[in-house]
Amino acid sequence: MRTSGFGSIQRKSIIFFIIAGSFALLAFRLFQMQIINHEEYDEKSASNSIKAIEQTPLRGVFLDRNGEVIVSNIPAYTLRIIPADYDRKLNRILENVLDVDSGYINRILYNNKIYSKYIPVRIKRGIDFKTVSWLEENSEFLPGVDYIVEMQRGYPDGIMGSHMFGYTKEISPEQLQKENEYYEPGDYVGNNGIEKAYEKYLRGEKGYNYILVDSRRKEIGRFKNGDADLASVKGNDLVLGIDADVQRAGEEAFKGYRGAFVAIEPKTGEVLGLGSFPDYDLNAFSYVTSREFLNKLYSDEDKPLFNRATMSMKPPGSTFKIMEAVAALNLGVINTSYTYYCGGGFTYGRFFKCDGVHGSMNVIHAIEKSCNTFFYNLIYKIGIDNWHNYALKFGFAQKTGIDIGEESKGFIPSAKYYEKIYGPNWPRSIMASLGIGQGEVSITPVQLAKYVSLIANDGVTYTPHIVKGYLDNKTKDFIPFKFEKIDIGVDKKVFDIVKEGMFLVVNGSGTAGRIRSKDIQIAGKTGTAQNPHGKDHALFIGFAPFDNPQIAVAVVVENVGFGATYAAPIAKKLIEAYLLKDKTKKDEQNKYEQKLHQNIIGASLAN
């Protein structure tokens, strides 16, 4: 046998081992890929060829308490770019046509770089019809540019509802990380207001169309002929307690003013209207929000993005006197025969002024005239602890629990608070101004509205809420949400007394005589919150009709002066809008028909 030269045993063995080793390597590699890492490859393979096309569900719409659509979905055009096919030389011309700053497209494309370049990127939502026509005409010169019809929020009723409704916004990476089970990059979610608070009801269920794609991502058919597809389910429609007429009246009345209003149905706690002013146009958020627009909103010193209805804290002024009267009457410290003499002021350590010289009067007339002297005295009679407790009973210094967004607590000082600051011998003269709702007391408009609801409905109401319930998208049944009942446990007789005073405020010789109405019996209380930084804030709380309250309102107008002059007339408009519907309806008839028409267009395109 040959040993070392031609075709020797050793050489045969070397070739044998090279072959055997190579085969072992290949076999090992197969084992590794097909058995050990099989799952990983299997997943890749499945996602490779079966592509799920997400079907964005329609968002639920908002209906007002009368079934009117106040937030709807309207079709709008969105311009998209498929980066793989797109030529960036087109940036300039597109940016000109879209009327956006140069670099806009590159910026968006850059932000979407992490996704496959075959996935279309939304460049601008809500492009106008002229732009769409231009795209159509020039489509052959615009590779990788297309447009789709998407549903966006529309506000067919002309109601702003800026802070209450809120807007949707592309999901942030942080939220995406937390809620990645439902959401995907590019999804829109409620960012504030009802849109955020009821996101889970509104968003619906995503649908998926499964298509087979080949290696070029070209669609080559439906997976299982579409049997596996999941239709999207529209979100639930929300039924709001809002009355479109009240809301509209409030928004119109507040034009040119800063402040807030909240109207509540006292028996149910349903919010009939809520506004914060200045407001802003939510339509601007339906589309890609322009930078200038956002900057303007942020830098505006009137802070239009700030929800004054739930966040702004002001002293309640004289509106707080009702609370004090209720406390005194309920504690038995005074009754209606108790009188106090007003000689133009009150002395406790120092002199505290009244607005007039009211003479001797009982609690009813003290409310009617908003006599400071009477209430300076009264707080000393009930003591700061009782005063503090009753304020808390009415829900001050705590969140009302209204179902939208952020809310301030406000502040009600207590003996403890003053002890902390001044020691056990804190100057009791501080209490005098608390007695007329000034000083360190601060409340929010929504607290004020809850307060007046409690008064109107004799100490019983529900947590204020804007949304009553929803229409189940499958059964179409109305499913009400449950809200907490509030009963402050004060005798009805006590409320009868203070309400009489409030009736006289409007209908007697009180401070709000100017809003007296022959159609509706309104009761209320004016207030003026002292403002060290400028003109006083005007406040008014009221309810109507007097004998069967259906609407309770709180109005705060900032930096204008007396409550009677500015806040009370707005409250009257809200009350009239709600209670004199038939009369105002006729004026609105034309508007309504127009709106109905729009809804029908929206609905047919949505299907």
Partner 1 sequence: MRIDYKLQDKFDLGIFIPCLLLFGIGLAAIYSSTVHHPTASGNFDRQLIWGIAAFIVFFVTYSIPISSFRVMAIPLYLLSLGLLMAVLVMGRQISGAKSWLDLGSVGFQPSEMAKIGTILVVASFLSRSNTNIESFKDIVITLIIGLVPVGLILLEPDMGTALVFIGIIITMIFWKGISLFGLFIVLSPGFVAISSLFGVYYFVASLVIISVALFVFKKDIFFSGSIFALNLGAGFFADYVYNVLSPHQQNRIKSFIDPMADPLGAGYNAIQARVAIGSGGFWGKGFLAGNQTQLQFIPEQWTDFIYCVIGEELGFIGSFITLILFLVLFLKILKVASSSKDEFLSLVSVGILAVYFVHLMVNIGMTVGIMPVIGIPLPFVSYGGSSLMVNMFMLGIVANVYRTRKNYT
CA distance linking residue 572 with residue 594, whole number of Å: 28
Backbone phi and psi for residue 104, each to the nearest 5 degrees, phi listed first: -60, -50
Determine if 48 is a binding residue for partner 1 (CB under 8 A): yes
Q: Shortest gap between Cβ of 29 and partner 1 (angstroms)?
A: 4
CA distance linking residue 123 with residue 217, whole number of Å: 21
CA distance linking residue 108 with residue 96, whole number of Å: 16
Contact 262, 241 (CB under 8 A): no
# chain residues binding partner 1, by CB under 8 A: 40
> Which residue, 180, 116, 126, 183, is CA-closest to 150?
126
Residue from 17, 44, 596, 605 in contact with partner 1 (CB under 8 A): 44
What b/e sequence results for 51-87 when a residue is b if at least 16 CB atoms lie within 10 Å of its CB, and e otherwise?
bbeebebbbbbbbbbeebbbbbbbebbbbbbbbeebe
Residue from 17, 38, 103, 295 in contact with partner 1 (CB under 8 A): 38
Q: Which is nearer to partner 1, 16 or 351 (CB)?
A: 16
- Hey, what amino acid is at 398? Q
With vertex at residue 200, the alpha carbon angle to CA 195 and CA 202, rounded to the nearest 5 degrees, is 55
Q: Shortest gap between Cβ of 135 and partner 1 (angstroms)?
A: 27
Residue from 52, 132, 213, 331 in contact with partner 1 (CB under 8 A): 213
Contacts of 180 (CB under 8 A, 6+ apart): none
Contact 451, 396 (CB under 8 A): yes
Determine if 7 is a binding residue for partner 1 (CB under 8 A): yes
Q: Shortest gap between Cβ of 48 and partner 1 (angstroms)?
A: 6
Determine if 225 is a binding residue for partner 1 (CB under 8 A): no
Q: Shortest gap between Cβ of 5 and partner 1 (angstroms)?
A: 4
Determine if 51 is a binding residue for partner 1 (CB under 8 A): no
Residue from 148, 149, 220, 596 in contact with partner 1 (CB under 8 A): 220
Token pair recorded at residue 8: 């020797």
Determine if 16 is a binding residue for partner 1 (CB under 8 A): yes
Residue from 31, 341, 478, 592 in contact with partner 1 (CB under 8 A): 31
Residue from 17, 22, 592, 603 in contact with partner 1 (CB under 8 A): 22
Q: Shortest gap between Cβ of 222 and partner 1 (angstroms)?
A: 13
CA distance linking residue 307 with residue 444, whole number of Å: 10
> Which residue, 419, 437, 420, is CA-closest to 428?
419
Determine if 228 is a binding residue for partner 1 (CB under 8 A): no
Determine if 35 is a binding residue for partner 1 (CB under 8 A): yes
CA distance linking residue 367 with residue 455, whole number of Å: 14
Q: Which is nearer to partner 1, 19 or 357 (CB)?
A: 19
With vertex at residue 131, the alpha carbon angle to CA 126 and CA 133, rounded to the nearest 5 degrees, is 120
Q: Which is nearer to partner 1, 15 or 596 (CB)?
A: 15
Determine if 227 is a binding residue for partner 1 (CB under 8 A): no
Determine if 224 is a binding residue for partner 1 (CB under 8 A): no
Determine if 45 is a binding residue for partner 1 (CB under 8 A): yes
Q: Which stretch binds partner 1 (CB under 8 A): 166-174, 214-222, 402-410, 584-592?
A: 214-222
Contacts of 480 (CB under 8 A, 6+ apart): 468, 469
DSSP at 490: -
Q: Give the CA distances from residue 591 to residues 200, 255, 585, in Å, rounded to whole numbers and listed in that order.
A: 32, 20, 10
Decide: helix, strand or coil at residue 341. Answer: strand
Q: Shortest gap between Cβ of 120 and partner 1 (angstroms)?
A: 16
Q: Which stretch binds partner 1 (CB under 8 A): 39-47, 119-127, 173-181, 443-451?
A: 39-47
DSSP H or E run through 380: helix 372-393
Q: Which stretch binds partner 1 (CB under 8 A): 17-25, 119-127, 316-324, 561-569?
A: 17-25
Determine if 15 is a binding residue for partner 1 (CB under 8 A): yes
Residue from 140, 215, 482, 586 in contact with partner 1 (CB under 8 A): 215
Contacts of 325 (CB under 8 A, 6+ apart): 363, 366, 367, 375, 378, 497, 498, 501
Determine if 133 is a binding residue for partner 1 (CB under 8 A): no
Q: Shortest gap between Cβ of 123 and partner 1 (angstroms)?
A: 22
Q: Which residues bind partner 1 (CB under 8 A)?
A: 4-9, 11-12, 14-16, 19-20, 22-23, 25-27, 29-31, 33-35, 37-38, 40-42, 44-46, 48-50, 212-215, 220
